[in-house]
Amino acid sequence: MPFLGQDWRSPGWRWVKTEDGWKRCEPFSPALEDENNQLNDISHTVILTGDGEDEEICGTEDCEFAAKKRKKDHFRNNTDSQCFYREKWIYVHKESTKERHGYCTLGEAFNRLDFSSAIQDIRRFNYVVKLLQLIAKSQLTSLSGAAQKNYFNILDKIVQKVMEDQYNPRLIKDLLQDLSSTLCILIRGVGKSVLVGNINIWICRLETILLWQQQLKNLQMNKQVNNGLTLSDLPLHMLNNILYRFSDGWDIITLGQVTPTLYMLSEDRQLWKKLCQYHFAEKQFCRHLILSEKGHIDWKLMYFALQKYYPVKEQYGDTLHFCRHCSILFWKDTGHPCTASDPNNCLMPVSPQHFIDLFKF
C-alpha cells in the first residue's frame, strides 16, 4: 500500500521504524545493502545447536524472527549507514482536506522548524528568543506536553549558549523574567486547571528558571586580550556611524559605558532624535513631550517614555517566511517545494507575533 505523505506531490521514500516512531531515510552506503542481504540469507539457513543426540534444529519461522530482530537492531544502532531526511518547513492549514488530515499546531511547528539549530545561527538568535518571550506571555497554556518539553529544551540551550558565549544576556534576562512572572501567576493564582501536565513539574520548571536567572546575574564577561586594532582606535566619524546603526536604546547606552569618547557620542541629541523618528510617529511625539531644563526636547527620555506606550520596530538578521502560494512556513535559506512560476513574489516575512497568530484557532 503506498504511503501518502504530507506533500502528495513528492516522490516515494523509504520509511524505517525506530524508537521515536517512523522516520524517512535514504541509504547512501553500499555496505548497508550488503548487510541487508546477509540478514535476509539468515532466514534460509538451518541453525544447529548442541552435540550428538541432543542436537536441536531451529525451524524457518524462528530464523525469520531472528533475522527481523537483527534488522531492527541494525537500523537502531548503526547511525552511520543511513541518513534521516527532515524538512525544515511546515504546511500551515487550519482545516482538513483530501490530501491533508487535521490541522497543524504551535507545538508541531516548533518541532518541524528546528529552533534548536536556529539558535546557533547569530542571524536567527534574537528572532527565536523574541518568539519564546511572546509564547511565555500569552501562549504558554496552549502548549501540549510535547511542545512544553521542546520549549524548555530550547530555552535550556539558549541559556547555556549565553553562559558560554556571553552573547546578549540582557535579552535572555528579559525572557526569563517574563516567563517566571507568568508561571508565578498561573501556579499560585490559577493552578493546574489551565496548565497541561502535573503541577509539580511546573514548580520544578519555575525553580529551574530562578536558578538560570541567578546564573545570569552572576555572569562575568570575559575580558578579551587583543593586541591589534580596537574600537577605541577608530576615528570619531566611524564610531558615530556605528552608533547610528543601532536600533535599541539600551545598546547605545551599553556601548557608551565602554570609553569616555563613546559616552560623549552616545549622549548626542541628534542620535536619539533619529532613533525616536525611526520607531515612533510624529503624532506620538506630541502626546509625550519631555523638555530639558534649557527648554529643548529631551529625545533620550522621550525614547524610553514612548517605549512604554507604543511598540518599537523589530529588526532581525533572518526571519521565517510564509509562501502565500503553497501556505508553507519555512526558513528562507532551507527552501520549500514551491510550484509557483515565480516563488520570490509569493514570499512574505513573518514576525514573531505573526508566527503565533498563524496557529491561533
Check whether 341 has a pLDDT greater than 80: yes
Q: Is residue 116 part of a domain?
A: yes
Same domain, 214 and 121: yes
- Report yes or no: 298 and 289 within 8 Å, Cβ to Cβ: no
Mean pLDDT of 159-182: 89
Which range of residues forms the domain containing residue 298? 248-309
- Report yes or no: 298 and 273 within 8 Å, Cβ to Cβ: no
Give the total number of structural domains in the chain: 2
Looking at residue 42, its pLDDT comes to 42
Check whether 25 has a pLDDT greater than 70: no
Same domain, 206 and 271: no
Q: Is residue 237 part of a domain?
A: no
203-246 residue pLDDT tens? 899 999 999 999 998 887 766 656 677 788 888 999 999 999 98
Q: Which of 292, 309, 326 is the last residue of a domain?
A: 309
Same domain, 210 and 269: no
Same domain, 95 and 212: yes
116-135 residue pLDDT tens? 888 888 888 999 999 999 99
Mean pLDDT of 276-305: 84
Q: Is residue 201 part of a domain?
A: yes
Same domain, 110 and 192: yes
Query: Which grid cell sits at 310?
Result: 507604543
Looking at residue 67, its pLDDT comes to 53
Looking at residue 73, its pLDDT comes to 54
Same domain, 121 and 201: yes
Looking at residue 200, its pLDDT comes to 83
pLDDT band at 57 (very low <50, low <70, confident <90, very high): very low
Q: Which of 170, 200, 218 is the last residue of a domain?
A: 218
Query: Which grid cell sits at 93?
Result: 492549514
Check whether 6 has a pLDDT greater than 60: no
Same domain, 137 and 178: yes
Q: Is residue 155 part of a domain?
A: yes
Q: Is residue 259 part of a domain?
A: yes
Instruction: Pick the most confident of 3-12, 105-114, 135-144, 193-202.
Output: 135-144
Looking at residue 202, its pLDDT comes to 85
The fraction of the chain above a pLDDT of 90, given in percent, is 16
Same domain, 137 and 202: yes
Same domain, 93 and 210: yes
Same domain, 211 and 106: yes
> Is pTM, for the whole model, over 0.75?
no
* Chain mean pLDDT for the chain: 76
Q: Which of 309, 336, 352 is the last residue of a domain?
A: 309
Same domain, 254 and 292: yes
125-168 residue pLDDT tens? 999 999 999 999 888 888 888 888 889 999 999 999 998 888 88
Query: Which grid cell sits at 282?
Result: 510624529
Instruction: Label residue 358 left, alpha or beta by phi (over 0 means left) and psi (-120 to 50 means alpha).
Output: alpha
Looking at residue 49, its pLDDT comes to 41
Q: Is residue 319 part of a domain?
A: no
DSSP alpha helix (H) spans, the chain: 30-42, 60-77, 106-112, 115-118, 122-134, 145-165, 169-184, 199-217, 236-244, 249-256, 260-266, 269-279, 282-287, 299-309, 352-358
Q: Is residue 281 part of a domain?
A: yes
Identify which has the larger pLDDT, 360 or 103. Answer: 360
Looking at residue 176, its pLDDT comes to 93
Same domain, 211 and 253: no
- Helix 169-184 and helix 145-165: axis angle, to 10°? 150
Q: Is residue 143 part of a domain?
A: yes
